[in-house]
Amino acid sequence: MHKINIAIDGPAGSGKSTVAKETAAHLSYLYIDTGAMYRSLTFRALQANISEQDEDSLLRLLTDMDITLKHGEKEAQVQVFVNGQLLGEEIRSQAVTGKVSEVSAHGKIREEMVARQQKIAEQKGVVLDGRDIGTFVLPGAELKIYLYASVDERTKRRHLENIANGRPSDILATREELQRRDHLDRERSIAPLKQAKDAVPIDTTDLTSEEVVARICRIAREKE
Ligand code: C5P
């Protein structure tokens, strides 16, 4: 048995982070939430008053940021440390969510983030979730999964998640924001969200996260 790398991509609300985290726990793999990396850069840019359009300043900011991801058993979401300081819920705020797709569309930003993600994956036994993992970050990943679900279901999940985490949430605004972000992520010129040719597509609309995890783990075990 040898450890493999698992790439999980899909649009917002398709279930990626829950499924990736639980899959990693089942297999005793490391889970890397790449969206949290782009979110922490966006959060820091907002704090520093750097425009989401200012690629060079964003890159300078990122170069000075050591981003470490940790996940305790109890936390639903990954903990992000930037230069040793814990960033909390603020990386999931509306302000960050509203700008993150613009920040992550820049080529120099993606280049740096992808290099960091590839470095982490060198050790193998890593589950990465994002938008470009199977297509750009780990094109050679042994297992690629593409999760998707209906817009209604994805909106419902995001809305309930917001409420559970004490974030203000309006269902119509949540739906619009999700579709806006999907559009930007799919249409950007560099590494757009796309199903890799060799990815296993899973429609999660009517599945529980446990069912999706069980399916991914079954395939992973065959490849280990
Ligand atoms: O996964 P999450 O919703 O936290 O990702 C936030 C945003 O970060 C995405 O909408 C996308 O714009 C960007 N992202 C990306 N590439 C990744 C992961 C996230 O462009 N690998």
- Going by pLDDT thresholds of 50, 70 and 90, the confidence category of residue 78 is confident
In the reported structure, the alpha carbon of residue 1 is separated from the centroid of ligand 1 by a whole-number distance in angstroms of: 32
For residue 108, pLDDT over 70 is answered with: yes
Share of the chain above pLDDT 70, in %: 98
Distance CA 156, CA 99 (A): 22
pLDDT tens digits, residue range 126-163? 999 999 999 999 999 999 999 999 999 999 999 999 99
CATH numbers and ranges of domains, the chain: 5-223 (3.40.50.300)
Residue 20 tokens read as 């990736």
For residue 81, pLDDT over 80 is answered with: yes
For residue 169, pLDDT over 70 is answered with: yes
For residue 101, pLDDT over 80 is answered with: yes
Burial class (CB in 10 A: 0-12, 13-18, 19+), 63: exposed
Residue 142 tokens read as 């042994």
Task: Give the atom of ligand 1 at the shortest distance from the alpha carbon of 132.
Answer: 21
Which amino acid residue places its CA nearest to atom 17 of ligand 1? 130
pTM: 0.96
Q: What is the ipTM of this complex?
A: 0.99
Distance CA 112, CA 165 (A): 30
Which amino acid residue places its CA nearest to atom 20 of ligand 1? 104
Which residues is 81 bridged to in the sheet?
68, 86
pLDDT tens digits, residue range 196-208? 999 999 999 999 9
- The reply to whether 135 sits in an annotated binding site is no
Best residue among 100, 106, 147, 174 to mutate for probing ligand 1's pocket (most ligand atoms within 8 Å of CB) is: 100
For residue 75, pLDDT over 90 is answered with: no
